[in-house]
Amino acid sequence: MRIGFLFNHDQPHQVAHSLPIALELIRRGGHQVKLAHSNSAIKAEMDRIAALYGMKIASRRLKGSRLGPLNAVADKLWPSRRLAVLGRNYDWFESLDILVVTEKTSLRIRKKNGVSNLKIVHARHGAGDRAIGFSPDSRGFDLSLLAGPKIKERYLEAGVPGDRMATTGYVKFDLPDPPRPEMKFADPSKPTILYNPHPSPLLSSWYEMGNAILEAIVKDGRYNLIFAPHAMLFQRPIQASLEKFTLSRVRRPRAELLNAPNVHADFGGPHLFDMSYTTHCDIYLGDVSSQVYEFLRHPRPALFADAHGVGRTDDVNFRHWQAGPLVQPGDDIIAAIDHAVASHDQYRAAQEYLFARTFDVTHESAAKRAADAILSRFEAKEVRAERAA
């Protein structure tokens, strides 16, 4: 079989969710594994991860937009570059039997008749609770690789047929534990908070609370702060939420906050993607990012910024908020952090339960389980027969 892996995004944050599967298939042999990327930052992350496995990889640089400067302007408002990549590379898609992707935008290529029989596999990125991750368009994939039982249940509720999903674990956990990154805090002995806001204006804490959070921690001085927002937060000057269409202007924090002696800011470095910060922080402060589940691999105090007045809720889209207390606009942020630390024992059992429900961890690597699922689901003779029909 000819199995392609597509890496088409603005930032490299999704590479670790599928590249280890490709490396496993390459290692086994017996099938043609083709890799393709859309920009140099993604290729650099692919090479970095491959090196962790002692491997070197070849990857095709896909054609981009013909519109040049006009496309660059349009890309400030919507993902025009990503869409252009999908529209200009049908020759590559047509050369495949199976395409593995990490996002749903790639389903658009089904509109082209020449790829109508192409099998598309969704290697989901992240394992969070946001409603958009379980929307009905997930039914468009021929196979979805799921991290654990929570996600399977929500897929079934969304109407995804059971034979189009496989529980394979969380591929990103296959990577070796990252070393503690170099962070030039004036006093490294202070407890370290990771503030990890999401880009979605409908759900993120950044637009209403972000600067207040940074200012409070800098002024108080008792904590160090890793400011490591979602890689897409500052990608565009205006951000949109797709769940319920919302637009918000994105303003970067003031330079004096980013340069404070107890602040380490990262807007796109490799540590933003390799779990360095979720592994090596002492306290998590976030809103709806799925990275909280990577943090919960080792239970620690967590605090959630409820910028939109959701409150304590049983809503499954905010299930991760069971892992710690909430802080809202106008609250004393430092007092809320102190309370999260002091009350952690009350939330430890919930954190362990949430992690176990989210990730199906076994003695086998998730990449191996995912490769097995792909190969067992699509026999070569079945794929070739359907492409010839």
Angle formed at CA 304 by CA 302 and CA 305, multiple of 5 degrees: 145
- Residue 198 and residue 339 in one domain: yes
Residue numbers of the domain that contains 347: 192-358
153/203 same-domain check: no
CB 135 within 8 A of CB 115: no
Domain count, the chain: 2
What's 332's domain CATH number? 3.40.50.2000
Residue 179 lies in a domain: no
Tell me whether residue 132 is in a domain.
Answer: yes
pLDDT in tens, the chain (389 residues): 999 999 999 889 999 999 999 999 999 999 999 999 999 999 999 999 999 999 999 999 999 866 666 556 555 555 668 888 888 899 999 999 999 999 999 998 887 766 878 999 999 999 999 998 998 899 999 999 999 999 999 999 999 999 999 999 999 999 999 999 999 999 999 999 999 999 999 999 999 999 999 999 999 999 999 999 999 899 888 888 777 778 899 999 999 999 999 999 999 899 999 999 999 999 999 999 999 999 999 999 999 999 999 999 999 999 999 999 999 999 999 999 999 999 999 999 999 999 999 999 999 999 999 999 999 999 755 555 555 55
The answer for residues whose C-beta is within 8 angstroms of residue 2's C-beta and 6 or more apart is 31, 32, 34, 95, 96, 97, 98
Measured CA to CA in angstroms, residue 79 lies from 46, 87, 109, 114, 244 at distances of 21, 13, 15, 24, 18
What's the confidence (pLDDT) of residue 69? 61
178 in a structural domain:
no
Same domain, 380 and 352: no
Q: Quick check: is 300 in a domain?
A: yes
| b/e burial code for range 256-279 (CB count within 10 A of at least 16 → b) | ebeebebbbbbbbebbbbbbbbbb
Domain check: are 109 and 156 in the same one?
yes
Q: What sign does the CA torsion over 35, 40, 42, 44 have? A: positive
Whether residues 311 and 334 share a domain: the answer is yes
| One domain for residues 161 and 46 | yes
Regarding whether 288 and 379 lie in a shared domain, the answer is no
pLDDT of the residue at 222: 98
Does a structural domain hold residue 101?
Answer: yes
- Is residue 182 in a domain? no
Residue 184 lies in a domain: no
Contact 217, 283 (CB under 8 A): no
Q: What's the confidence (pLDDT) of residue 74? A: 52
Examine the domain organization and report whether 343 and 384 are in the same domain: no
Q: Within this chain, do residues 248 and 368 fall inside the same structural domain, yes or no?
A: no
Same domain, 348 and 365: no
Amino acid at 38: S
| Shared-domain flag, residues 96 and 145 | yes
Pair 366, 168: CB distance under 8 Å: yes
Tell whether 307 and 369 lie within a shared domain: no
